[in-house]
Structure 1
Amino acid sequence: MKLIALCLGACLSVVSLAANASSTTYVRYQHLGKIGYGKLVEDSIYPLKGDIFSDSSLSSRKMSVRDVNLLLPTKPEKVFVVQAQKQLGETQANDYQFSFKLPSALISKGVPIQIPTDAKNIEYSSSLVVVIGKQSKNIDTKQASAAIFGLTVGGDLTEPNWLQRDAHSLRAKSADGFAPIANEIVRGLDFTRIHVSSKINGKAINDDALAEMTYSPAEVVSELSQYFTLKPGDLIYIDLPTHTVEVKDNDVVSVSLNGIVKVENKIMF
């Protein structure tokens, strides 16, 4: 039994390495009062010149991660939340459920999430987050693939009692800190090999292959573009229903993408 477990672990490591082999990681940072993007290689950042979403080049100089302040990955105009779990045999657009968050709900990893005092219970859904790289409207899935800059992970916090009480999801999903997100953006990942794993207080909640449970990022982006103009830096949280848990005071929740990007925050009531 122990041998089987070791073999499975080795196989997963090989799959993870293969999936991440051609990927590139970027971060947004502040250094000496200036904000920029850079390519992250281990503990070093290589600054980018120009606009990361349209025309940029890599600088030869590098900085240590320890010497900069890592920021939210983008300054989005819009932050969408999409529930897009596939049901066997169903491929219709009405499988999608859309909602949104205010950009002010975004919070970086490591920052405690202070829950409002009148919240009764909080649900945390782990999410794959799509980062838009091109302005897009009414696009098909092929065009949507080209419109995606990269991927990261985050958490979708919801207060279900507020959701029932209000006529909309604004308060229930957009309170300050209700959208934790990793600092890194990853490009070049193969969707068929993406795994998102979640933990609460160090205990695994789930580890899922996204290709088996959700529409592809391109399908989600295409569907959203039928209703909204997507702009560079916009974020789309794709919720993973099997990764939804109710959180309590002092819980620490983490979400990881292929083991290379992680967001982790402490919940405080």
Structure 2
Amino acid sequence: MKTTMHVGRNLWRPLVIFSFVLSLQLATQVAFSQDGITRYVRFSDDSGTHSGILDGNTIRVLDGDPVFDDGVSPTGSTVAVGSVDLEIPMNPERVPNVMGVAGNSNNPNGQQIDVNHPRWFGKANTSLAKNGSPVEVPYGATNFNFEGELGLIIGREGRHIPESEAMNYLFGVTVGNDWSENDWCGERRGVEEPTHVFCKAGDTFATLGDAVVTGLDLTDLQISVRLNGVLAAQGTSADFRDSPASLISKISHYVTLKRGDIIFTGTVAPPQMRGTRRQLWQEDVVEVEIENVGAVSNQLVRVTRQNVSGPEISAADGTYVRFQYEGGTAFGVLNGNEVSELDGDPIGGNASMTGQTFDVSDIELGLPLDPAKPGRKVLAAAANYQPTNAPPRQVPHPRFLFKRSTSLSNDGNVVERPPEVEMFIPEGELVLVVGRRGRHIPVNEVNDYIFGVAAGNDWSELSWITAGPGPRPLKYVSKATDTWAGIANQIVRGIDYSDLQITTHVNGELLSQGQSSTMINNPARLVSYLSRYMTLEPGDLIYTGAISPEPGMRSNLQVGDRVTVQVEGLGSMEQQVVAMPAWPH
């Protein structure tokens, strides 16, 4: 196999970095009630799952999902609310990204605080759960609690959105509960416990009400939370430090917002009534209600440890690629300089050979997986290699950070550098590609859930990872910015990746080199640990951590720098740093 390839470096280069708008048209809002407010719902009955408009006790059925589909119209049919089961109001399998902001409400009786950089965090689309469904109290929780919040549903793709135009990118709002294990959010030093990602992103940790509501004035909506029927928190959207428009504008500086993205806007302040904030336990019931939006109520249950498994991976061993040719885009298997076309996506599917082959000189290789797949989780392990001149470490709770599907960039793509960075670095890594759905996966079965592996670059801003409240962005942005998840053009299935050499060069000079065998937590342990808290899905990516740089070689990369990552047996990738527009706020 040819291990170093730089074919088609300009394929699907991120477009118009300096553009204010990368947009799709908002879904047409098909009907309004007399007060200008429309309530979109999603429901199941004997014929399947459908979308509709809630009108009193009747649902007018639509011919598509208005959050994601254009030109949606009423079918002419109606159903009674009492005859169907209401679901999450948009298809959760189509939700690209879920994120939220912490500390976004001022205490109405205290000092008003201006925050330049909101405290963003990531959730997963596997965190989504509907009104009335059980919420799992995670194993080992000591401060698991509710956070009643307004949820923003993005209706139009955009990047670098001016605040004055931000509401044009909002489809509607819903009521949500941003369940959180607040002790884990703090990553307390010296305490053996799960870290930041797991405080927010566990399965069922993002419950939503029955409807997405459009046409509301969002400036002063009352938000109330009841614990076992007793008022536990109350506030108003008027106390937000960053308004919905400000939040949309600020996060879009770093990431491309996708149609169907969900943004939790922060819990109300004061966060509790005296004496009611406590560790929640099974059988507790929490209800969140937002004026004119609706309510969501959920009961807590003990988490089970039952293994959940999807269909077994059927793909044969080989080197898998995705490529563009005159007839379109396809997946294939690379063998030397020849690519054999597949009739579909081999990750999570049953793709077969079409019989057509291409010479690599006649095609352009791109991202080896479909960038449009919604809900893809991209997670990055931190500090996962043994120190070179110190005793071996054991870390029972691996540390992870979130990236996004919009962070993905392949060999030859440029990587954006914000001018406000202080320590922007590359991190050459082994990337695991999940190929099978799983939860609570035993360590000795993890290999059955991995489709393959690839070379990758986990671009990071180190000073933002450790920053406290103040003038810097925080953890989420430090990893999740657009283009900051580099991945090579090929995924290799069937290779033994327990002891591969990983090498990173900057402008031709060695930055780091080491073996995958020196990970603190090996790939099987990482995957099994993640699956304790969240369901892994085909196409999810896990960056396994970076080898420490050579002494004196780490520095803040500059525009024009070139970084090459090579992983033994998996090939190499090279990317160049380019400028991003300055922070405008």
Judge same fold: TM > 0.5, yes or no.
Answer: yes
Distance in 1 of aligned mates of 2:320 and 2:403: 23
Q: How does 1:162-241 map to 2 (within 5 A)?
A: 162-163=464-465, 164-165=467-468, 168-241=474-547
1:43 and 2:337 correspond: yes
SS at match of 1:250: coil
Distance in 1 of aligned mates of 2:507 and 2:569: 17
Q: 2:366–2:410: 8 Å Cα contact kept in structure 1?
A: yes
Q: 1:31–1:69: 8 Å Cα contact kept in structure 2?
A: yes
Distance in 2 of aligned mates of 1:208 and 1:58: 37
2:578 corresponds in structure 1 to 268
Inter-CA distance 260–172: structure 2 relative to 1 (3 Å threshold): closer
1:27 corresponds in structure 2 to 321
Letter of the 2:352 partner, please give it. Answer: S
Q: 1:191–1:216: 8 Å Cα contact kept in structure 2?
A: no
* 1:124 CA drift (Å): 1.6
Inter-CA distance 115–67: structure 2 relative to 1 (3 Å threshold): same
Inter-CA distance 205–168: structure 2 relative to 1 (3 Å threshold): closer
* 1:58 CA drift (Å): 2.7
Q: 2:385–2:518: 8 Å Cα contact kept in structure 1?
A: no
Letter of the 1:36 partner, please give it. Answer: A
2:377 corresponds in structure 1 to 78
Distance in 1 of aligned mates of 2:352 and 2:401: 35
Aligned match for 1:124, one of 419, 426, 437: 426
* 1:175 CA drift (Å): 1.5
Distance in 1 of aligned mates of 2:449 and 2:430: 16
Q: How does 1:137-152 map to 2 (within 5 A)?
A: 137-152=439-454
SS at match of 1:56: coil
Gaps of 5+ in 1: 1-21
Aligned match for 1:101, one of 403, 411, 415: 403
Structure with more of its chain in strand, by fraction: 1
Q: 1:27–1:70: 8 Å Cα contact kept in structure 2?
A: yes
* 1:102 CA drift (Å): 1.3
* 1:252 CA drift (Å): 0.9
Q: 2:490–2:570: 8 Å Cα contact kept in structure 1?
A: no
Aligned match for 2:559, one of 241, 249, 258: 249
Inter-CA distance 119–137: structure 2 relative to 1 (3 Å threshold): same
Distance in 2 of aligned mates of 1:118 and 1:206: 25
* 1:136 CA drift (Å): 0.8
Q: How many corresponding residue pairs?
A: 247
With 57-66 and 194-203 compared, the bigger mean Cα shift is at: 57-66
Could you tell me the TM-score, scaled by structure 2's length? 0.40
* 1:257 CA drift (Å): 1.3
Distance in 1 of aligned mates of 2:422 and 2:538: 36
Could you tell me the TM-score, scaled by structure 1's length? 0.83
Q: 1:195–1:209: 8 Å Cα contact kept in structure 2?
A: yes
Q: 1:101–1:174: 8 Å Cα contact kept in structure 2?
A: yes
Aligned match for 2:353, one of 58, 62, 71: 58
* 1:114 CA drift (Å): 2.3
Distance in 2 of aligned mates of 1:148 and 1:243: 28
With 153-162 and 177-186 compared, the bigger mean Cα shift is at: 153-162
* 1:103 CA drift (Å): 1.1
* 1:23 CA drift (Å): 6.4
Q: 2:504–2:510: 8 Å Cα contact kept in structure 1?
A: yes
Q: 1:126–1:243: 8 Å Cα contact kept in structure 2?
A: no
Please list the CA deviations of residues 170-197 of structure 1 after superposition, one character each: whole Å capped at 9, or x if unmatched.
2111112111111100111112331111
